Homo-oligomer: A and B are copies of this chain.
């Protein structure tokens, strides 16, 4: 049996630069599918393309409308290929309409001077000692496709409508069931954060991510080292203003290496 994630991002060549896929009920969200799998499927189109060069460095996906459950096509066009970098233009279509736009930058990395700058908080308890988020019925299906273990003091809620001063969340997360990490699963995890405004205002509301950018600090070797163990996900917002807020987040390996940094702008209704 393939993993649910592989089913959700499964693409068949459909001629030229086009790939055909379908949304997966296993990753259903409140309306349409989980944006993380949409983003991962768009990345996967470039990864599967026969002209692909190297590994992903940057991915931007703009959600133009909620996807409807069912088939979609992704066009992945290598707009420019250089000696060691490649630029992709991505588009997801449903019923002939553009449902998501995107771009990606791929590159062949070389060994160079390297150095971390951001560091992990000193007091992060290991995933093994923390409880998993219970699988409760009112959460959308995609949440159950992850094992999430919130750090003490950094879980969302209680949802009492009492606004708090920050929207910080921190949790260990891996695919459920466990699955070795690759670029699509990392891209999907980068959209696994609950909306910052729910955390800040301690209440749910109508929201929708409009633009999501992920930077891949990990190369394939580092992802292979990570395997299927939990990664640490940390997010916060910088600002909420007149219908839009941002999220800025990081995903770390359990050995303290930054795997991805990821940012998004999100619409909110009121």
Tell me whether A261 and B243 are in contact (CB under 8 A): no
Q: A26 to chain B: closest CB distance in Å?
A: 27
Give CA–CA (A144, B166) in the complex, Å: 39
Interface string of A180-201 (1 = CB under 8 A from B): 0000000000000000000011
Tell me whether A87 and B62 are in contact (CB under 8 A): yes
Tell me whether B261 and A112 are in contact (CB under 8 A): no
The dominant DSSP class at the A interface is strand
Query: Residue A128 at the B interface, CB < 8 A?
Result: no
Give CA–CA (A66, B201) in the complex, Å: 44
A58 touching B64 in the complex, CB below 8 Å, given contacts A98-B80, A112-B269, A117-B200: no
Give CA–CA (A166, B89) in the complex, Å: 34
Give CA–CA (A177, B242) in the complex, Å: 31
Tell me whether A200 and B82 are in contact (CB under 8 A): no
Query: Residue A241 at the B interface, CB < 8 A?
Result: yes
**How many of chain A's residues have a CB under 8 angstroms from any CB in B?**
62
Give CA–CA (A79, B140) in the complex, Å: 29
Give CA–CA (A49, B81) in the complex, Å: 29
Interface string of A41-58 (1 = CB under 8 A from B): 000000000000000011
Q: A199 to chain B: closest CB distance in Å?
A: 10
Give CA–CA (A62, B90) in the complex, Å: 13
Tell me whether A57 and B166 are in contact (CB under 8 A): no
Interface string of A218-248 (1 = CB under 8 A from B): 0100000000000000001111111110101
A238 partner, pick from B99, B111, B200, B261, beta carbons under 8 A: B261
Tell me whether B246 and A217 are in contact (CB under 8 A): yes
Within 8 Å CB of A215, what residues of B?
211, 246, 263, 265
Chain B binder among A5-13, A16-24, A102-110, A129-137: A102-110
Give CA–CA (A250, B246) in the complex, Å: 12
Tell me whether A62 and B103 are in contact (CB under 8 A): yes
Within 8 Å CB of A240, what residues of B?
113-117
Tell me whether B107 and A244 are in contact (CB under 8 A): yes
Within 8 Å CB of A97, what residues of B?
80
Tell me whether B116 and A239 are in contact (CB under 8 A): yes
Within 8 Å CB of A219, what residues of B?
241-242
Give CA–CA (A241, B107) in the complex, Å: 13
Tell me whether A62 and B211 are in contact (CB under 8 A): no
A110 partner, pick from B57, B236, B237, B243, beta carbons under 8 A: B243
